[in-house]
Structure 1
Amino acid sequence: MRKSIIISLFAGCLVILFFTLTSMIKVFSSDLNEPVMMAEQHNSYRLVLITQELDTPFWAKVERGARKAADEYGASMEVWGTYGSNRDDFLKNMEVAIASKVDGIIVQGLDTDEFKYLTKVKAAGSGIPIITVANDVPMNESLRRTYVGSNHLEAGSMIARQLVSDMGFAGQVVLMVSDRQEDFQRSRLTGILDVLRPYTKIETKIVAAGDSREEVADATNQLLNEEPDADAFIAVSAKHAGSIIQEISKRMQVDEFYIYSFDDSPETLTLMQQGQIDALIAQSPETMGEESVTHMIKWLTGEQVPLNPDGYFTDIRVLRAEDAQ
């Protein structure tokens, strides 16, 4: 009997020792494997950058910055886009990305009800974070996590201050905008008007044109007929600058006007080097791409929660004609 008890106690001790050793091995294995798991964590993130202007130099730089940051973090980066601002295809890309359950979407903001529905209902409902880049959509309307890009309100203020410095405190200024204004255009316009408002002898005229070169040319031609005494033009949408200058040049000398724009694209830089644009706002698209991926990764890992709802502004500066020579 006594021998049986001793054997039972011994067996029990062996069982306890077994489970103790097993638990210790699991703990140490977990500690040893944790850095490997953390290192591999970013590799599992699938990010998508979506734009409706894939064929522009500006967005090529955004893509370059985004891919660079994704490579540094070891994340997967896909770039989807459309050519010629095809909004239907752009929205379809958004739907596909959401349906594919990607980990994060970095997207050019589009101020439409369809876009806001996709971000606010479908993406949010699927738990997919959205970061807008370059062009923003208000957070309360889109539920995007943050915005990365230029401070367009300040950009408008900067170009208006440059105009006043060049033209003086009196004159007629034409502000050329799109028929359908995005959030970035409204912000630029607000910044311009806020600066010019105190100058009572500066008259502003807002002219709405379409997005095509032909529509902008027609609007410019009509404006020149109605307001032959205009002194300055500001292309609130950068892609309008070339059409405005082309139409003016058919009727008079371009250097008779003060002309301003946004975005240092190859076209606007060439026009500036030719002395046809007095100044423009240069942006930082590659930085936008890098920082948007960085903030997305930091949100996904929990390193940066929440993200700044007001956004992260990248560098802007006034580039004058003499700087581009």
Structure 2
Amino acid sequence: MIGLHKRISLALGSVCIILLCFTIATVVRMVQSDQQQLPQSAAKKTSQYRLVLITHDLSTPFWDKIGESAKKEASQQGATLEVWGSYGEDQNDFLKQIEIAIDSRMDGIIVQGLDTEPFQEMTKIKAAFYGIPIITVASDVPMTDSMRKTYVGSDPIMAGRTIARQMIKDMGEKGNVILLGNDREEYDQQQRVKGVMEVLHNYPLIQTHYIQTSNQKEKVIAATQDGLNRFPDVNAFISIDANLTSAMVQEIERRSQIAPYHIYSFDDHPDILSLLRKGKLDGVIEQSPDTMGKMSVQMMTRWLKGEEIPLNTKGFFTSIRIIQPVDVQ
């Protein structure tokens, strides 16, 4: 009996050893297979990032330039980039596009900043939860409010200073100035006003009047009427939000001749260059949309590849210049 038990024990031991060897061999093969696949997957990841550019001003010349240069740079970086967005003031659709990009697990989102609480929640909470980097372009929202990695676009404070200096050069060191701004008081607009006031504070004989309105045409016309009625000796207008400029100019023309006034704006609206060519604006801040598109993709891919972490949270400022009617004839 003892001999029989020994033979059974030896047989069972042999079976266990064979099963153990088979299991070890299987695990080794699986590990080797994973090791072979991981570099291929990583290589594919670094050469084919899925990026999206989202704006609430689709099909405008300014954003067409940003989109075209962003696509070109993405191709050179081995990434794919789609341009999504909404038209005009449809903020709900704009926010929905951001939500879709997050749910689609895009590798990176480049977006026109919108200084509202729903936008901040979308970028600061939902995108951050899934680890999707956000870069704002052309319009900024502070990093503390949006958790964006960086901003690419013009410096709004410098833009405000530049337009104020040009106005003083044209108008002189005394007069009455109306600043027309959007009542949403977005971050970029606040910074532009800050830049204007930094310059004008040095000229005590220049009186500044800040009027706010929504961007509905009727509201802009009413606000312009109010300004002309309250300050009949006004010498100059600065439209802080380019979306207000066309209706503002229309009402000034209706009331009197454009010629006596010095009128200034920014270039991020389709009507602006036409108004400048017609001599209805005296100066416009021209930005660099081509550079914005290219640089925003460069910064995003550098972050994704780990080449620059963190990115400069203050942002990367693109060039601006003042242009006048003579420059666009």
TM-score range, shorter chain: 0.7 to 0.9
Instruction: Say if 2:96 is the partner of 1:92.
Output: yes
Matches within 5 A, 1:60-209: 60-209=64-213
Alpha-carbon offset, residue 216 of structure 1: 0.8
Distance of 1:261 and 1:61 partners within structure 2: 19
Contact 2:241-2:266 within 8 A present in 1 as well: yes
Larger radius of gyration: 2
Instruction: Say if 2:274 is the partner of 1:273.
Output: no
| Cα deviation 1:120-172 (Å, max 9, x = unaligned) | 11111110000000010111111110000000100000000000111011000
SS at structure 1 position matched to 2:109: strand
Cα 1:82–1:189 shift into 2, 3 Å: same
Contact 1:175-1:207 within 8 A present in 2 as well: yes
SS at structure 1 position matched to 2:124: helix
Q: What is the identity percentage for the equivalent residue pairs of Structure 1 and Structure 2?
A: 48
Q: Could you tell me which residue of structure 1 aligns to residue 242 of structure 2? A: 238
Runs of 4+ in 1 over 6 A off after TM superposition: 36-39
> Amino acid of the residue matched to residue 224 of structure 1?
L
SS at structure 2 position matched to 1:254: coil
| Equivalent pairs, count | 298
Q: Could you tell me which residue of structure 2 aligns to residue 291 of structure 1? A: 295
Instruction: Say if 2:214 is the partner of 1:210.
Output: yes
Q: Could you tell me which residue of structure 1 aligns to residue 310 of structure 2? A: 306
Alpha-carbon offset, residue 266 of structure 1: 4.5
Cα 1:166–1:53 shift into 2, 3 Å: same
Contact 1:43-1:76 within 8 A present in 2 as well: no
Cα 1:264–1:129 shift into 2, 3 Å: closer
Q: Could you tell me which residue of structure 1 aligns to residue 57 of structure 2? A: 53
> Amino acid of the residue matched to residue 78 of structure 1?
E
> Amino acid of the residue matched to residue 167 of structure 1?
M
Alpha-carbon offset, residue 239 of structure 1: 1.7
Alpha-carbon offset, residue 324 of structure 1: 2.2
- TM-score normalized by the length of structure 1: 0.87
SS at structure 1 position matched to 2:161: helix
Residue segments in structure 1 that go unaligned for 5+ positions in a row: 1-25
Distance of 1:96 and 1:240 partners within structure 2: 30
Contact 1:264-1:280 within 8 A present in 2 as well: no
SS at structure 1 position matched to 2:255: coil
| Cα deviation 1:183-227 (Å, max 9, x = unaligned) | 110000000001001111100000001112221111111211221
- TM-score normalized by the length of structure 2: 0.86
Contact 1:178-1:209 within 8 A present in 2 as well: yes
SS at structure 2 position matched to 1:255: coil
Contact 2:102-2:127 within 8 A present in 1 as well: yes
Q: Could you tell me which residue of structure 2 aligns to residue 19 of structure 1? A: none
Distance of 2:221 and 2:172 partners within structure 1: 27
SS at structure 2 position matched to 1:50: strand
SS at structure 1 position matched to 2:271: helix
Distance of 2:274 and 2:224 partners within structure 1: 21
Alpha-carbon offset, residue 40 of structure 1: 3.8
Instruction: Say if 2:224 is the partner of 1:226.
Output: no
Alpha-carbon offset, residue 52 of structure 1: 0.9
